[in-house]
Amino acid sequence: MVKKFSGMIAVGVAVALTLGFLAVTNVTGVWAIPELWSQIFAACTGALVVAVVTMVLMRGQRAAEEEKEKGIKIYENKVEAYSRFVTKMYKLLSDERISCDDFLNLRMDIFNSLIFYLEDDHLRLILREVEGIDDFQNVDEMIHSFARITNILQDDLAGRTYKPDDKERVLVSLWKRFGAMASACPLPADKADTK
């Protein structure tokens, strides 16, 4: 009740001050009442125009920000899907025995996530690489195909057109080098005891 009464007092004081200001300016000749009304109308019209322009600009900015956030979210999902696929793909090479189910799981990953993000030409290139694996027991052939698929996915993430380059050779060499290092490592004590 006190707040309501205080608000009414504030409004009353504002109205009284405004009327007093108008009376003083009219009596002193600073502004004549007809001239004052035209200036008030001009000020209100200017404020309205500024408000409309600001509203239009804010809507455009909001739409641009929403589009940017959408693009960021799609990119993050893309990175996660591609990373998960590449991890599973290279895990096949680490398995001692590769089964048909392993390839069917990769197929499901392609159809569950990758097809929603890949550009058509990159999807066709991956198809060509998968078609090129004639013998799924030939690990060397799969290493080369998987390196090219990895490069295709990287180019898709970067928005580039795929071009075979030296990076695929580097990926193959890196994979083989870690394999050679792992085979040269001494066995941990608990594994050595079981043999």
Q: Taking 90 as the threshold, does the pLDDT of residue 65 lie above it?
A: yes
| 19 and 30 Cβ atoms separated by less than 8 Å | no
The CA angle 134-137-138, to the nearest 5 degrees, is 70
Distance CA 193, CA 116 (A): 49
Q: What is the CA radius of gyration of the chain?
A: 36
Note the pLDDT tens digit of each residue in 77-87. 999 989 988 88
Give the global pTM: 0.61
Average pLDDT estimate for 58-81:
92
Average pLDDT estimate for 31-59:
82
Average pLDDT estimate for 183-189:
67
Distance CA 147, CA 158 (A): 17
Distance CA 53, CA 8 (A): 33
Distance CA 143, CA 171 (A): 9
Q: Taking 60 as the threshold, does the pLDDT of residue 192 lie above it?
A: no
With cut-offs at 50, 70 and 90, classify the pLDDT of residue 195.
very low
| 165 and 152 Cβ atoms separated by less than 8 Å | no
